[in-house]
Amino acid sequence: MSSDRWVLRGGRVVDPSQDLDGFFDLLVEDGCVSKIEESLSAPEGCEVFDATGLVICPGLVDMHVHFREPGQEYKESIETGSRAAAAGGFTAVACMANTDPVNDKRSVTAHIVAEAERFGYARVHPIGAVSKGMAGEELAEIGEMVRAGAVAVSDDGLPVKNAELMRRALLYARHFDIPVIQHAEDLDLTGTGVMHEGEVSTRLGLPGIPGSSEDVVVARDLILTEDSGGRYHVAHLSTARSLDMVRQAKAKGMAVTCEVTPHHLLLTDETIAEMEFSSDTKMKPPLRSESDRQALLAGLVDGTIDAIASDHAPHHPDEKAVEFSCSPFGILGLETTLSLCLDRLVRSGTLTLTRLVELLSTGPARILGLEAGSLAVGRPADITVFDSERRVVIDKDHFQSKSRNTPFEGWKLQGGSVVTFVGGRKVSL
């Protein structure tokens, strides 16, 4: 058992919540940050973590993961999913409701919370379903789920198709000050599509999913959000046009936020051709065009995008070892996100380290109303320590996750997680 008192010494502390970027020592006591000073001597009985050459930041939060429990533990479980989170530098995740049974009631929410606490690798915040059984007809018992620990609602995996249901969900969620998270997709426009519709889908002969499939739902929902005064969050936003609409909504002062995934920031539909129809390039929303990707990068820089979330979606290798068209949608993300972002977004000069920490910690914590995302004195000591110099080769055979579906296998990156602290305890795997 690790000590509950720590001094983290000699590290570069990057904390956008306090506008902090400099060399400080951290004292952690009783599960909370108790001091941040330029030089701290360790009190008696206190363990010291030497963070020389490392970066210390508020614990990373992945606000969009699928842990498959209950019901599909052969893909992932709360235990293995939270181990994957810890390995990837995350101290908290929010897990989507499309389990079996669906997380649409207090008992399922409570099970998830209890399981996660039993292991303690990372905090697991359940996201409840918008509708009962995610059937898109009646509101789920949102208040009951919130009392059991739900931090948001979403039918993710499926869109909320019915406009009246969406309107009512936005209104009802106001009671609890939680966002309604939408998987924005018009299933009629998606049809039989399996990849982004454009030049590449035409060349490969794969049925396309047009960008408009996302855009028409975002457009409708923004109108409903404006009228309802609710909080709306776009999950895995992937198109330039949806991003523009979110930008305009924010300018109007609406309570609208959005997240993007590392794969939509780093890969395009061309990757499917380069990887010769590999099912590890198949997910929803699909990898979009280069111009969409460029727009997303601009949205990271100008602040339109509030969070980077992985949409960690484990699938068993047998399910993915099939024809592209037959494979389920989704890829892993927890164990690749930090290294990808450090190397391809910060090292490349697109983002500052502070902005990255904002996108991976402070931003998502704020959206979900978590106590995380800050190392201010008195806050829970959820801390990520990473090394932005360490050389990393993505190797799926060493993942903590039960699944292996990543398109980033073999990528050589610079930067990666060293250790996490959750509630002042050092997490060991």
Partner 1 sequence: MSWARKDLLGIAELSPEEIGLILDTAESFREVAERPIKKVPTLRGRTVINLFFEASTRTRSSFEIAEKRLSADSMNFSASSSALVKGESLIDTAMNLQAMSPDLIVIRHGFPGAPHLLARHLPAGIINAGDGAHEHPTQALLDAATIRRHKGKIEGLKVSIIGDIEHSRVVRSNIHLLTKMGAEVTVAGPYTLMPPGIEALGARVSYSLDEALDGADVVMMLRIQLERQGRMRVPSVKEYFKLFGLQAQHLARANKDVIVMHPGPMNRGVEISSEVADGPYSVILEQVENGVAVRMAVLYLLSGAQGESR
Indicate the residue among 164 and 318 with the shorter CB distance to partner 1.
318
Sole binder of partner 1 in the list 81, 208, 285, 415 (CB under 8 A): 208
Specify the long-range contacts of residues 208-213, CB closer than 8 Å, at least 24 apart: 209/284, 209/285, 209/286, 211/238, 211/239, 211/240, 211/241, 211/242, 211/288, 211/289, 211/292, 212/186, 212/241, 213/185, 213/186, 213/187, 213/189, 213/285
Write out the binding residues for partner 1, residues 290-349 only, by CB under 8 A: 318, 321-326
Could you please report the per-residue DSSP string of 348-365?
A: TTSS-HHHHHIIIIIHHH
Please pick, from the candidates 148, 189, 206, 245, the single residue that binds partner 1 as defined by CB under 8 A.
206
Residue 201 Cβ vs partner 1, minimum distance, rounded to whole Å: 7
Q: Restricting to residues 147-176, which ones interact with partner 1 according to CB under 8 A? A: none
Output the six-digit token pair for 385: 């320590």
Catalytically annotated residue among 221, 311, 382, 387:
311
- Nearer to partner 1 (CB atom), residue 273 or residue 298: 273
Cβ 216 to partner 1, closest distance in Å? 16
311 assigned to active site: yes
Smallest Cα–Cα separation from 34: which of 424, 354, 386, 426?
A: 424
Distance CA 75, CA 92 (A): 20
Q: Which of residues 267-286 bind partner 1 (CB under 8 A)?
A: 276-277
Interface with partner 1 (CB under 8 A), residue from 139, 171, 204, 298: 204
Query: Which residues, numbered 178-197, are part of the site for partner 1 (CB under 8 A)?
Result: 197
Q: Which residues are CB-neighbours of 375 under 8 A, at least 6 positions away?
A: 13, 15, 17, 18, 20, 26, 33, 36, 56, 57, 58, 383
In the bound state with partner 1, the residue whose beta carbon lies nearer, of 324 and 386, is 324
Q: Of 27 and 283, which CB lies nearer to partner 1 in the complex structure?
A: 283
Nearer to partner 1, 190 or 337 (CB): 190
Contact call for residues 376 and 18 (beta carbons, < 8 A):
yes
Size of the site for partner 1 (CB under 8 A): 21
Q: Beta partners for 307?
A: 259
We find the least distance from the C-beta atom of residue 241 to partner 1, in angstroms, to be 15
Residues that bind partner 1 (CB under 8 A): 197-208, 276-277, 318, 321-326
Catalytic positions = 311
